[in-house]
Amino acid sequence: MKKIKRYTGSRIVYSKPNQQSILRLFCFPYAGGAASIFRNWSHYLPAFIKVCPVELPRRGNRSKENLFNNLLPLVKILAKDILPHLDKPFAFFGHSMGALISFELAHFLQRENCFSPIHIFVSGRRAPHISDTDPPIHKLPESEFIRELRRLNGTPSSVLQNSELMKLMLPVVRAVLLFAKLILIQLKSH
């Protein structure tokens, strides 16, 4: 496995330089996901695409950062970190909560800096204007919450079965899910 180089101060995580690239693909993970989930994407995409995973607060090498409870401050920080990397055409990919963040970041970059991605790819999320019919899970009692995390199949069983690790992770996962819910509310109010 390749060692991932993390640039200090930036939220953009590169695995290696790619001089052949003519397009940067910024990838935004799901709630609770880290930039590392995109580490192998460059193996499956053409060499002209530079995969640029984005590390969100409280994930990966940013595990000590505070979580956000408002979308706009997060988008402003992400824009500041991404702007130096927009010297080439770029696109966004976001999954689930990452889809919402990339959508709002694209609007912000266009409005404030006159930069636009050539394309936005989203998965695992309805359009912001379509109501979410899933009940929120962040308020469930611990046993039901863990059962729901298991059902969603996004957390390894070994993590869910480790009670010490879950005591550390549950408050973070609940906060991230609450933030995802707040993002939807903020987007609907636009």
Active-site positions? 96
Strand partners, 52: 26
53-71 burial by CB neighbour count: b if 16+ within 10 A, else e? bbbbbbbbbbeeeeebeeb
- How do beta strands 13-14 and 5-6 pair? antiparallel
Cα-Cα-Cα-Cα torsion 12, 15, 19, 22, nearest 10 degrees, comes to -50
